[in-house]
Structure 1
Amino acid sequence: MGRRDYENDPAAPAANSLVPAASVIVVDADGRVLLQRRVDNGKWALPGGRMEIGETLPGCAVRETREETGLDVEVLGLVGTYTNPGHVFAYDDGEVRQEFSICFLARPTGGELAVSDESTEVAWFEPAETDDLPMVAGIRKRLTDWRYGKTPAFR
């Protein structure tokens, strides 16, 4: 399903849903960060997704990372909360979701890097290498908060 991100755009459609979600900054022992290139928009992003009934938000972060990248992770802390009502995601099925994401910091504990049905590439990057990668503003904001020590950030 296709998705279009709008951030503080007056032409954005009105939100019609709010779904708790987790995103994850996974950092390896060498200080590199894990990113995936999304199928729906072709841009680089953090692993993450919507919370399911019966799971905790950190559990969601672990599950989504495994599903989208093939890696098992241990959650270490909180990067920040991202709940900008001016940031919405419009999906092909008509859902327009207001941003509601808690971003966690994690480390890899096992598994093998693998693409999923949501990604075309999964790779490790030095933090400075992420500066020129195509990504939506909300993901860049999370990476910037982590890189420059704005932990936890509340936006």
Structure 2
Amino acid sequence: MAKIIYGDRISKLGKVTLGCSAAIFDSTRQKVLLTRRTDNGRWCFPGGRMDAGEDATEACVREVLEETGLHVRVERLIGVYSNPHLIIEYADGERCHSVALHFEATSIAGTLSISEETTEYGYYSLNEIVSMDVMEHHLERIQDTFISQKSAFIR
């Protein structure tokens, strides 16, 4: 189960990993796609770790496909997130200091579905998301996504 641990510069206890996530808007651009994780039952953007030998957009496209069944085109970088005061601890005890690239992406094909990593999905507005059990490290990304700033956030 993935959980977040907070502490002053606690990320120095984990290994640095690079990940990607995607904000996929509905046709009204008022709601974004979130998925519910199988490991902890919490909501987040589709995404995950980058593999060796792929670039950041390839990682984003692969992770979205694996988790949602959607083929996407990456449109722009929303932000870079690297909070040194949290680590992600996985069920196997691995601790990671995540550096996440958060992209806006557009669905171009595929059928939205659950996967081995997701139990549920849906498009939600910012007002709806406020009352959901969202992974803490995705809250800032969610807020930044709805701001629609042209330049990328560096956080």
Q: Deviations over 1:96-154 (max 9, x none)?
A: 10021000001111111111111110112233321211112211110101112344111
Q: Deviations over 1:64-96 (max 9, x none)?
A: 000001111111101100011112101122211
Paired residue total = 152
1:153 is aligned with what amino acid? Answer: F
Query: Given the superposition, is the C-alpha separation of residues 54 and 137 from structure 1 closer, same or farther in structure 2, using an over 3 Å criterion?
Result: same
> For the aligned residues, what is the CA RMSD?
1.6
Q: Deviations over 1:7-52 (max 9, x none)?
A: x335x68533111110111113221211100111111100000111
The aligned residue for residue 78 of structure 1 is: 77
Q: Secondary structure at the match of 1:64?
A: helix
State the identity %. Answer: 32
For 1:128 and 1:92, the matched residues in 2 are separated by 31
Mapped contact 2:20–2:59 kept (Cα < 8 A): yes
Mapped contact 2:38–2:118 kept (Cα < 8 A): yes
- Unpaired runs of 5+ in structure 2? none
For 2:139 and 2:4, the matched residues in 1 are separated by 13
2:110 is aligned with what amino acid? Answer: G
- Unpaired runs of 5+ in structure 1? none
Mapped contact 1:22–1:104 kept (Cα < 8 A): yes
The aligned residue for residue 52 of structure 1 is: 51
The aligned residue for residue 38 of structure 1 is: 37
Query: Given the superposition, is the C-alpha separation of residues 91 and 55 from structure 1 closer, same or farther in structure 2, using an over 3 Å criterion?
Result: same
9, 25, 28: which one aligns with 2:26:
28
> TM-score when scaled to structure 2?
0.90
For 2:3 and 2:59, the matched residues in 1 are separated by 23
More divergent stretch after superposition (101-110 vs 143-152): 143-152
